[in-house]
Amino acid sequence: MGFENNDQIIEKTILAAKEHVESDNYTEAINDLKAALQDYPDNSDLLKETAEIYMHIKDYKTAVEYYEKALKFEVSTENFSLKRIGKCYLKLRKYPRAEYYYQEALKSNPDDQYALDGLGEALMEMNKFDEAVGYWERAVELAPTNVFVLNKLADFYRKKEDWFKAIDYYNRALAGNDRNSYTLRGLGECYYTLQDYDKAQEILTKALEFNSRSVYILTSLGDVFRRKAWWNKSIEFYQRALFYEPENTYALRGLADAYRGKEWSRQAIDTWVRFLEIEPENSYILNRVGDLYRREGNWENALACYEKILSSHPNDKYALKGKYIVLIHSQSQVKDKRKALERMLNKIRIMTYHDANTVEEEKNMIEKTLNQVDPTLLISTLNQLGDEYRLSGEFDRALTFYQTVLHMDGDDQHAQQGIQKLKKVYKMDGFNDVD
């Protein structure tokens, strides 16, 4: 049996390291390679293999150290280490450094697709969009079926909302690989945004065939079916997504909206409560839950949702509006509706009718505050007050509030309808003019 030469020892060490990596024994692999480097410190293959393992375990800084050592002894013209250093700096988000190393690789090989791709990515991250696209298009010229780069170009145009250009690149990518679920997913999203829901459904369904556990594809199909008002199918796909990711807030939000579409308010509330367990301060969802509780007549829970929002966002217009509606209609919160109305008037800094001697004086007082209060909130409040006074038989006072709304917004339908209802009442009592 003969002695092993240096090349055989190095090859054997690298093979053993690869076996350790396959078994997730990264420490053993690194220790074996470092031991060999004690005897062969100038061997670029050992240095590159060590760097690869560090890159695999996401220790990019240490990987760069070994790749840079390998550069000194690398004889290949493929610039492997230069490109891998560029990749490490991309991962470290040091984009100017990544750009430098990819440019160095291209000096000796301007048609290196890997370097062109990496350089495009570094430039994209530095917001040098035109340059980035130029390098990616150069890579595609060299390899027209380079699916990886074609997808990057398609993604770029999709983010720019240039949907038809994005569709073109996705279709070109599919020409190279029509089973790529990522490409199909992006293409389906374009058609979804263009509101071609049938086409989006067709493409996303095909994408799911090749990646049945993709939460992104499942939720996208849930969105498509929700837009088509196919509530049961929408619910099915959101639930399938949540099977794989129970805390996916996008899927939870879509599922709740689908339940609302089906008019299953209890299931919608339960789903939003699950959402709030993950993001308890989400004001958008708190408002939605508050609205559903309010529609159920659950004033206490509705008020709790609105007040939770207002505790951290005191100027949230939607929560303010919801809270004030609850205060008017909730018998459990305010037994006397007239007191609720007075409380409302104080909340929006309008003088109550007790401080005005005439209806005209009250109207003038209200109008003086218009520039001090949010118009949307004020209009909603005034309409609510008009309704309450109309229903309680105080028609002059109701008319005052409706007319004040129309002074602010002459096209407000709620106020116009309120006045029409007053006209009917006035005519019954012998009054013909309420204008």
User: What is the reported pLDDT for 322?
Assistant: 86
Least confident range from 37-51, 83-97, 318-332, 342-356: namely 342-356
Q: Is the pLDDT of residue 354 over 60?
A: no
DSSP 254: H
Mean pLDDT of 341-362: 51
Cα separation, 361 vs 354, whole angstroms: 11
Mean model confidence pLDDT for the chain: 85
For the chain, the domain total comes to 2
* 271, part of any domain: no
Reported as a single tens digit per residue, the pLDDT across 106-163 is: 998 999 999 999 999 999 999 999 999 999 999 999 999 899 999 999 999 999 999 9
User: What is the reported pLDDT for 361?
Assistant: 62
* 317, part of any domain: no
Least confident range from 45-49, 224-228, 248-252, 420-424: namely 420-424
Cα separation, 324 vs 4, whole angstroms: 87
Residue where a domain terminates, one of 192, 212, 232: 212
Least confident range from 21-25, 87-91, 155-159, 341-345: namely 341-345
User: What is the reported pLDDT for 187?
Assistant: 97
Reported as a single tens digit per residue, the pLDDT across 373-409 is: 566 767 887 888 888 777 777 788 888 888 888 877 8
Mean pLDDT of 187-211: 96
pTM: 0.66
Q: 């695999």: which residue's tokens?
A: 56
User: What is the reported pLDDT for 224?
Assistant: 97
* 296, part of any domain: no
User: What is the reported pLDDT for 335?
Assistant: 46
* 184, part of any domain: yes
Residue where a domain terminates, one of 180, 212, 244: 212
More confident residue, 343 or 221: 221
Residue where a domain terminates, one of 195, 212, 229: 212
Asked if 345 contacts 375 with a C-beta cutoff of 8 angstroms, the reply is no
* 402, part of any domain: yes
Q: Is the pLDDT of residue 366 over 90?
A: no
Q: Is the pLDDT of residue 327 over 50?
A: yes
Q: Is the pLDDT of residue 6 over 70?
A: yes
User: What is the reported pLDDT for 253?
Assistant: 94
Reported as a single tens digit per residue, the pLDDT across 285-311 is: 999 899 888 887 788 889 899 999 999
Least confident range from 38-42, 187-191, 227-231, 241-245: namely 38-42
* 316, part of any domain: no
Most confident of the following: 74-78, 188-192, 427-431: 188-192
User: What is the reported pLDDT for 434?
Assistant: 46
Mean pLDDT of 56-70: 94
* 385, part of any domain: yes
* 179, part of any domain: yes
Q: Is the pLDDT of residue 333 over 60?
A: no
Mean pLDDT of 323-340: 60
- Which domain covers residue 200, as residue numbers? 144-212
CATH number at residue 387: 1.25.40
CATH number at residue 181: 1.25.40.10
Nearest of 155, 121, 158 to residue 136 by alpha carbon: 121
User: Which 3-state string (H, E, C) describes 157-216?
Assistant: HHHCCCHHHHHHHHHHHHHHCCCCHHHHHHHHHHHHHCCCHHHHHHHHHHHHHHCCCCHH
User: What is the reported pLDDT for 342?
Assistant: 52
The letter for the amino acid at 100 is Y
Cα separation, 291 vs 284, whole angstroms: 11
